[in-house]
Amino acid sequence: MSLELIVTEKAPAAIGPYSQGVKGSNIIFTSGQLPIDPENGELVMEIKKATKQSLENVKAVLEKAGATLDDVAKVTIFISNMDDFGAVNEVYGEFFNSHKPARSCVEVARLPKDAVVEIEAIAIK
């Protein structure tokens, strides 16, 4: 099986030696998406806006791979403060309302660029 590296200008470029996503057969893995606006490179820090930006970035990587949010089987959310869990869920529910993939949400000590959230997904297409 060969792997296809997913690269799109509609999501921020990788900030290290990795790809925005990888597709193998019918499975798509997105790398963790920070809340960076791909148009201006700015890091969004307000938790609701940051969650929305991270999810938009995940969506862009999936779309480049020929998938949509409805194809997502698993999401992992990393947040820097578990007190933000409710705000993250509020925004997350706008993206995943009728389709509810499996999900984990964990608080971490620190994220790259001191972001407040990072989101990754696995989709099956």
Q: How confident is the model at residue 69 (pLDDT cuts 50, 70, 90)?
A: very high
The structure tokens listed for 43 are: 């890091």
User: Average pLDDT, stretch 26-31?
Assistant: 98
* Nearest-angstrom CA–CA distance, 76 and 90: 16
> Which residues constitute the domain of residue 76?
3-124
Q: How far is CA 30 from the centre of its chain?
A: 7
Q: CATH no. for residue 86? A: 3.30.1330.40
> pTM to 2 decimals?
0.97
Specify the number of domains making up the chain: 1
As annotated, the active-site residues are 105
What's the confidence (pLDDT) of residue 1?
A: 73
